[in-house]
Amino acid sequence: MDGPFEQARTTTAFRLMDAALEKGYNVNVFAYEGAVSLAFSHQRPHANSIHGRTFEEENHPLTKDWVAAMQAKAQNKGCKFDWINCGLCVDERGVQEAIEGCRRGAPKDFWQWAVESTSTLVIGTK
């Protein structure tokens, strides 16, 4: 539920997803609240003038690139990586343009995945 760069929970969630894909598991992600911005296509890297680093030196990571990397990893591993953004949350935040392969959905999609899955992990904000 966290947006990019706000909490360690975000990177922890990405590490868990990556570990599951590495073992060949199918992974479904239902992004809710601020997490809908993780796959926002208009994220841009930047320099860090406060620390005197150029654009290249800063090498700022973008979560949209992490999502794309997991999509590619799933394809290479022959498993599935499906990302749904909560449509209400997207509208509230104005982040309608997600990267290719991510789609808009509703809480019913999360419920359906939970019913169909062998296990479900929820990482909340608090």
pLDDT tens, position by position, 73-126: 999 999 999 999 999 999 999 999 999 999 999 999 999 999 998 888 887 666
List, for residues 1-45, the tens digit of each pLDDT value. 566 666 778 888 899 999 999 999 999 999 999 999 999 999 988
* Chosen CATH of 8-116 out of 3.90.1150.10, 3.40.50.150, 3.40.50.720, 3.40.1260.10: 3.40.1260.10
What is the C-alpha to C-alpha distance for residues 29 and 113, in angstroms, rounded to an integer?
Answer: 9
The per-residue pLDDT for 35 is 92
Pairing of strands 102-105, 27-31: unpaired
Q: How confident is the model at residue 54 (pLDDT cuts 50, 70, 90)?
A: confident
| pTM metric for this prediction | 0.87
The per-residue pLDDT for 61 is 85
The per-residue pLDDT for 7 is 72
The per-residue pLDDT for 2 is 61
| Confidence check: pLDDT of 53 > 70 | yes
**What is the secondary structure of 24-84 as a DSSP string?**
T--EEEEE-GGGGGGGBTT-----BTTTTB-HHHH----HHHHHHHHHHHHHHHT--EEEE
Other C-beta atoms closer than 10 Å to the C-beta of 49 total 9
In a 3-state reduction of DSSP, which class is residue 105?
Answer: strand
